[in-house]
Amino acid sequence: MTVAKQRAVQGDADSAAWWEALAAGRLELPVCSSCGRRWFPPAPTCPYCGATHPSLIAASGLGKVYSWVVVHKAFDPVFANDVPYVILTVDLDEGARVVGRLLGPRDALRADARVRAVPYESRSGALLGFELRS
């Protein structure tokens, strides 16, 4: 499968630009042109005020761990050799809550731990990962 087809599978018309930015190593968030709030996942309207035509802006990628789960059974065969791995829910400093994989050891993982987003390429295409910060 080509990279273009992988991205088509990963995204839709509302999220295509987000996936393209991630594949280029950038984390971007939708921002409302009316109320200025940021959110995730990308959508055609602002979930806070209903305004249409949001744009994407660069995000710092910095945030704190809200929650996590340790995956012991991969639901996609692409990740079968990776188990166990950790999926994080992260509150970004910009206000959006996103989900990504913990990259690196989990021994220092705790609620409210500071993390930094690290887009990475997997066998299934571009994905969002996070590294713990000290």
Per-residue pLDDT tens digits for 17-40: 999 999 999 999 999 999 999 999
CATH of residue 105: 2.40.50.840
Pick the more confident residue, 124 or 62: 62
Does residue 54 have a cis bond before it (omega within 30 degrees)?
no
- 3-state SS, residue 51: coil
- Given a cut of 90, whether residue 2 has pLDDT beyond it is no
Candidate from 10-14, 75-79, 106-110 with smallest mean pLDDT:
10-14
CA 54 vs CA 40, 43, 45: distances in Å: 12, 8, 7
Q: Parallel, antiparallel, or unpaired for β 125-132 and 97-102?
A: parallel
pLDDT of 11 reads: 75
pLDDT of 81 reads: 93
- Residue 114: give the domain boundaries: 3-132
Total domains in the chain come to: 1
pTM above 0.85, yes or no: yes
